[in-house]
Amino acid sequence: MANVVVVGAQWGDEGKGKIVDWLSLEADVVVRFQGGHNAGHTLVIGNQTYKLALLPSGIVRPGKLSVIGNGVVLDPHHLVDEIAKLAGQGIEVSPANLKIAENVTLILSLHRELDAHREQASTDAVKIGTTKRGIGPAYEDKVGRRAIRLMDLAELDTLDEKIARLLAHHEPLRRGLGLEPVTAQTIRDELTCVAPKVLPFMDTTWDLLETARRDGKRILFEGAQGALLDVDHGTYPFVTSSNTVAANAATGSGLGPKAIGYVLGIAKAYTTRVGGGPFPTELTDKTGELIGDRGHEFGTNTGRRRRCGWFDAVLVRQAVKTSGIDGIALTKLDILDGFEEIKVCVNYKLDGAFIDHLPASQAAQARIEPVYETIEGWEGTTAGARSWADLPAQAIKYVRRIEELIEAPVALLSTSPERLDTILVHNPFQDR
């Protein structure tokens, strides 16, 4: 059996929630290894729809252990709210099925305020298109070695000195930005009131996961955003503040690289993006609007309309390489039903020359021109298909062409939000 890492192969919002839920039936443990509560996952199980932002997707399945790893930044108040929301839908979250790394970094109200202030700035260069939930500033404090971590809530006698260390950075920053000062007592109150609600979930998760691995348990690592939002390998600076590529599943959970077996990338049959940044295949016409309407392309937690465009094989091929993707789960093929022609970006032109990758330079990314290949569409429907025999022949040709272009096989094909509407080609938990 192979432990499986699930990563988005585009800019996020690829439908990871359904695929992780589908795979979690075979998993024993589901781990979130990066990001914060800015990553919405929608799960449709029977007639119930669950919208998660922070909790691992396995939390809605009985008998599964969910783990929030050290690579995540955690808003403790949001965690409490999300647990309560699930309770209202009949899902019980307790220390028996949820463990949180003791060394996870916490998101505080001052992080949210700083994030929102930057996004509301009049200077476009300051705006990244974040969700204003404090994720970026929390990661800044983590690498600046001044963060408050979950374990600190269990050591209230030393909390004041840690708050002082944090404010030594934030006080002059807030003064310079014209923000209201925040007192140490305010932060202490913010943390002490929530501590009893979150500390019961705290555990030494790296040891727990290594024990599970040695015992032969099947571990599913769940990424939040897509590989193209990786702080190193994405469209910088229009990226998230953590490493989203598959290798971070090990670092963000406290395991060694050998813990990773199969890497499953998730990609839509077209491309979407939320927020600012380059988007070579973006369609700002009626076709892009039609794809967005058909695909219900609105953020799970933010409600923001997503930018839509044709499938970009160059970007996905790049994600295949930077994440070591073994197979792709292709989602939302049904949204392309009925198009007479479908375009796929197979190359770029930069200053008149053909290139086969997205350059790291922000200025070069802005000048990229997509080179398209036109593929014949299909008249039949792919919605709800559960076998290759259910698909129009031209739809199969489209999938096969994508495989060739991204240099990776399609392991799963998703044809609706329903879990059972999935065509399995390779089982990631069994295929190495």
CATH number of the domain where residue 113 is located: 1.10.300.10
* Same structural domain, 347 and 241: yes
Q: What is the pLDDT of residues 380-425, one digit of tens each?
A: 999 999 999 999 999 999 999 999 999 999 999 998 888 788 999 8
Angle at 320 (CA atoms; ends 318, 325), nearest 5 degrees: 165
Model-level pTM? 0.92
- List Cβ neighbours of 174 (8 Å cut-off, separation of 6 or more): 110, 114, 180, 181, 182
Partner residues linked to 42 by β-bridges: 51
Contacts 24+ apart (CB under 8 A), 88-93: 89/48, 89/50, 91/50, 91/59, 91/60, 93/55, 93/59
* Same structural domain, 152 and 283: no
Q: Which of 197, 229, 249 is the last residue of a domain?
A: 197
Residue type, 159: L
Flag whether 382 is in a domain: yes
* Same structural domain, 333 and 378: yes
pLDDT more than 90, % of the chain: 81
CATH number of the domain where residue 221 is located: 3.90.170.10
Flag whether 158 is in a domain: yes
Q: Which of 13, 141, 334, 421 is catalytic?
A: 13
Q: Write down the pLDDT at residue 298.
A: 83
Flag whether 126 is in a domain: yes
Q: Which of 21, 37, 41, 312 is catalytic?
A: 41
* Same structural domain, 176 and 310: no
Among the listed residues 56, 38, 46, 42, the one whose alpha carbon sits nearest the alpha carbon of residue 14: 42
* Same structural domain, 141 and 220: no
* Same structural domain, 220 and 184: no
Flag whether 96 is in a domain: no
Angle at 14 (CA atoms; ends 8, 18), nearest 5 degrees: 100
Flag whether 175 is in a domain: yes
Flag whether 301 is in a domain: yes
β-strands 341-350, 353-355: how paired?
antiparallel
* Same structural domain, 300 and 363: yes
The span from the CA of 91 to the CA of 98, in Å, is 12
Flag whether 94 is in a domain: no
* Same structural domain, 282 and 350: yes
* Same structural domain, 190 and 238: no
Kindly tell me if the per-residue pLDDT of 130 is higher than 80.
no
* Same structural domain, 250 and 156: no
User: Across the chain, what does the average pLDDT equal?
Assistant: 93
The span from the CA of 391 to the CA of 37, in Å, is 36
Q: Write down the pLDDT at residue 16.
A: 83
Cβ distance 226 to 322 under 8 Å? no
Among the listed residues 244, 241, 235, the one whose alpha carbon sits nearest the alpha carbon of residue 271: 235
Using a 10 angstrom Cβ sphere, with 0-12 exposed, 13-18 middle and 19 or more buried, the burial of residue 348 is buried
Domains in the chain, number = 2
Is 13 marked active-site? Answer: yes
Compute the average pLDDT of residues 342-360: 97
* Same structural domain, 133 and 237: no
Flag whether 177 is in a domain: yes
Q: Which of 144, 162, 197 is the last residue of a domain?
A: 197
The span from the CA of 300 to the CA of 428, in Å, is 26
Residue type, 319: A
The span from the CA of 352 to the CA of 295, in Å, is 34
Cβ distance 193 to 203 under 8 Å? no
Q: Which of 139, 169, 197 is the last residue of a domain?
A: 197
Confidence label for 144 from pLDDT (cuts 50, 70 and 90): very high
Q: What is the pLDDT of residues 196-253, one digit of tens each?
A: 999 999 999 999 999 999 999 999 999 888 999 999 999 999 999 999 999 999 999 9
* Same structural domain, 188 and 291: no
Domain that holds residue 109: 105-197
